[in-house]
Amino acid sequence: MHPQDVLTSLGEVAAAFAGFSGVVSALGARSITDLPTPHRFRFANLLVVSVGAAIFAFLPAVLEQFATGSSAVWALSSALLALFTGVLLFARWRAGLRLTKGSLNRWMATSWVGVLSAVSLLQLAALTGWPSARSGAAYVAGVFGLLLLSGLQFISLALPDHAKDTTREH
């Protein structure tokens, strides 16, 4: 990939972020700090994972611009993605535990732990070259996992009344 192509792609991502900020403004016409704590937690999750997915989507293309082999590009990309998802899982888990019981969606928390753990383990396996030689397949699956979490978090943020765990009284 030529540097001009990478820059064009990065420009497209910048435009997408600008559009995303408009959506956020439309959804919450007030300041982020005025949102209830569970909504702020969801918004932070959405923002961090979305930006992370965009950065990691372009990382191999940027690394290819340097004189490194394909195997090294995928190894470094996988190592950084595994580090990111591991730290994200730990940090957001701790933040989630500080919220009041029942203010988070059980299905969303389970999805987060499951997907981030799977992405971390998949990247570590790819880093070691197991079960096959290093390639982009595991890395692409990891970035897709981040995008999946972004989509689920957007739904959780946009439709909190429908996503909230409730127990029905009979």
d(CA 88, CA 120): 10
d(CA 58, CA 101) in angstroms, rounded, equals 38
More confident residue, 61 or 167: 61
Q: What angle do CA 58, 127, 138 make, to 5 degrees?
A: 55
**Cα–Cα dist 61/5, whole Å:** 9
Between CA 155 and CA 143 the distance in angstroms is: 19
pLDDT per residue as tens digits for the range 124-154 = 998 887 766 677 788 888 888 888 888 888 7
| pLDDT interval class at 121 (50, 70, 90) | very high
pTM score, two decimals? 0.77
Residue pair 142/97 in contact (Cβ under 8 Å)? The answer is: no
Say what the pLDDT of residue 168 is.
43
As given in the structure block, the two tokens for residue 63 are 């690394």
- 3-27 and 37-63 helices cross at what angle (nearest 10)? 170
What pLDDT digit, counting tens, does each position of 95-112 carry?
A: 777 775 665 677 788 888
If one compares 66 and 102, the residue with the highest pLDDT of the two is 66
Domain spans, the chain? 3-163
Which pLDDT score, from 0 to 100, does residue 160 have?
56
